[in-house]
Amino acid sequence: MSHDSQQHEFACQLVWTGAMQGGTTSYDHYSRECRVDFEGKPSLCGTSAPAFRGDPSLTNPEDLLVASLSMCHFLTYVALCARKGVTVVAYEDDANGVMKRVGRTFRFTDVLLRPRVTIAAGSDPETARSLHDRAHQECFISNSVNFPVRHEPVITVAAPV
């Protein structure tokens, strides 16, 4: 897939695996478990969030949305760092999303990313910090949502070796 292409497509197939436990005869008594298959990639098992009667041991769409935002920011950020001469040697993010009732439905109202980045000695901490803003502007997923995605990065310079 060329990065320069004007369009990229992504596909999956969802299978309701919970159907084996019975149909949707009552809101309280059907399984929300499903499997998402991606061609040539591992399948993903999921369900609804525990607040909506899902299995708390499985991922849910809300988890995956926060993870997608975190992963997209990370991938965009490290690409920018590589291009700008900032050597990232470690990266962790504690991301948190807030979903609230708005009117008659729930929606995400905010996601906060808290990346902790370690850069190699000799890399510029201010450049490393400023590239988070650019990564935010360029992240495909954050550009696709209609709620704020904030970031509070912490930059640490590794001790010289």
In the block, tokens 């954050």 appear at 142
The pLDDT value recorded for residue 108 is 97
* Domain coverage including residue 80: 61-157
- Of the three residues 13, 43, 59, the one that is the final residue of a domain is 59
The pLDDT value recorded for residue 160 is 84
10-residue stretch averages of pLDDT, the chain, 161 residues long: 78 94 90 96 96 94 97 97 97 97 95 98 96 96 96 94 74
The pLDDT value recorded for residue 67 is 97
The DSSP bridge partners found for residue 34 are: 46
- Overall domain count for the chain: 2
Q: What CATH number has the domain bearing residue 66?
A: 3.30.300.20
- Nearby residues of 4 by Cβ (< 8 Å), 6 or more positions away: none
The pLDDT value recorded for residue 3 is 66
The pLDDT value recorded for residue 71 is 97
The pLDDT value recorded for residue 1 is 45
Ramachandran category for residue 43: left, alpha or beta (phi over 0 → left; psi -120 to 50 → alpha): beta
* Same domain (yes/no): 119, 141: yes
* Same domain (yes/no): 55, 4: yes
The pLDDT value recorded for residue 161 is 74
Strands 88-93 and 105-113: unpaired
C-alpha to C-alpha distance for 110 and 108, rounded to whole angstroms: 6
| pTM of the predicted protein model | 0.91
Six token digits for residue 39: 């061609």
* Same domain (yes/no): 21, 89: no
* Same domain (yes/no): 9, 65: no
